[in-house]
Structure 1
Amino acid sequence: MVEVAVNHASFLGEGPVWDWRDNILYWVDIMGGHIHEYKPENKNFRTIDVNQMVGAVVACSDRQLLAALKNGLAMIDRESGEPAFLVHPEAHLPQNRFNDGKCDPAGRFWIGSMAIDETPNAGKLYMLNGKQDIAAKIHGTTISNGMAWSHDHKTFYYIDTPTMNVVAYDFDVHSGTISNKKTVITIDEKDGYPDGMTIDTDGMLWIAHWNGWQVSRWNPHTATKLFTLPLPVANVTSCTFGGPNLNDLYITTAQKGLTANELEQQPLAGMLFVWKDCGYEGVRAFEYAKGE
């Protein structure tokens, strides 16, 4: 069912995103400072080295890449890895880094920050619009992670990992305003910590479990777990749908936090996995729309 997609282990693999224009999967190795690129049709894999921590990467409507680097948000040259910095809302907080990010249905980039040492409540969730104005949307986050938007663009789902919850906000797609926070899913501690997240065409949420050996599928309207997909590694970080028909589930994992003994027992830790033709379908990733 689940297989290794690329024979390359990341220390902290995260943030998979499918570029549907070019049929390429991007993901990051946060601590390694790497943006990975994989084209399944020819199995071409390469790494863009950005030489600093990279929390997330997204595709832009003009086929460029936007990444959240330690030194700020930047456009990335796909060939050289050279960053062209746009803005850094936490330049005064060198102890922080960015963690997970996605674009919303209007093409704005949402990106969370956190303390490198995971100090509680040290982060924020920001929104960058197409004019490169940035605003804090949620304050006091600890490990900002999964994000998804409902198909009617009226709900924003969000995970701050240590809370063990998925929360939902009312979302105004025109202004990017979020309001009326409510908890829609609570993860049991025995299942690990909720990490990255994606949504399928049925509006169901897929959640990666750090120290949980699994990805789970949930109905956010009823708080019902629909099924669990087991993985051969403990630290499952995120997932997204890819492939030409968006029916292959790609899953990122990590070696971070594992002892030498655990790494020996989990030789596939840090690998990118795929569940091909999984029977479910994702939706196209939203792109960053510059100048809008």
Structure 2
Amino acid sequence: MSARTYKARDFHRLSTPWNVIFNLFAGIFAFLCVFPFIFVVIISFTDENVLARDGYKLIPAGWSLEAYRYVFQTGDTLLRSYGVTIFVTIVGTIVSLLFISFYAYAISRKSFKYRNFFAFFAFFTMLFNGGLVPTYIIVTQMLSLKDSVWALILPLAVNAFYIMILRTFYSTSVPDAIIESGKIDGAGEFRIFLKLVLPLSLPGLATIGLFSTLGYWNDWFNALLYIDNPNLVPLQSMLMRIETSMQFILQNSQNSSLSLEALRSLPQDTSRMAMVVLATGPIIFAYPFFQRYFIQGLTVGAVKE
């Protein structure tokens, strides 16, 4: 038996003790990744007085739903903010995938005459941008998107870094022979892209789609700049406003008509954790839809023997 064959067998077939050790290590690492969120959930259900007396504990002495009652007392406002965020996330991800996939595919083809120019155009925006003031003027005055849901979608629709990732994926995973075969059969560029390229690009598109989904779901800054209509406030921005209002009440408690006991009963730390759970929980369910392709998309450009 050659040394090369022995090495290959030794690498691919681990002994039982090593297999147990590696699985145990992977399980511990996975638990350490999940534990912070579990701990945040526990704190959000902890009684505020118990938290102030005993501090953060894995098993608190008292439980309470007061933090969630405080957040949900906004009623329809919270549900409306959830609806705005879900709409912006879904539509924004679709629009972003369309723009990025078309742009990346064009600059990945050697037959495209101006691919170097447009590749440099995208790369240049990764290094330099126009700044906040010109962006605000363009969105509010030139495009007239003030107090529009599109002000939450279009500014994040195209990301130069995602374009470069997807261009690399197209260059390494879509052979030129497939494109040529489509042209021989008389297919146009759009038909080649839809029928031949997209089915091969699911790992890359899933990776970019997950990044875009997280970006839209967690965005609050665009709402701060462009949204004054309370009916268009997304979830993250609304939770931030609740937090700001609570801090304002506590800081101005001497001038407030509320009693000192009522002010002390406000769930400060637990409400923050409840906001984290409400903002993070739904997006967790997006991962199973992307998990099948995510790892393969992250290894784009990897060298195989």
What TM-score, normalized by structure 1, do the two folds share?
Answer: 0.20
Larger radius of gyration: 2
The structure whose RCO (Cα within 8 Å, separation 6+) is larger is: 2
More helix by share: 2
What TM-score, normalized by structure 2, do the two folds share?
Answer: 0.19
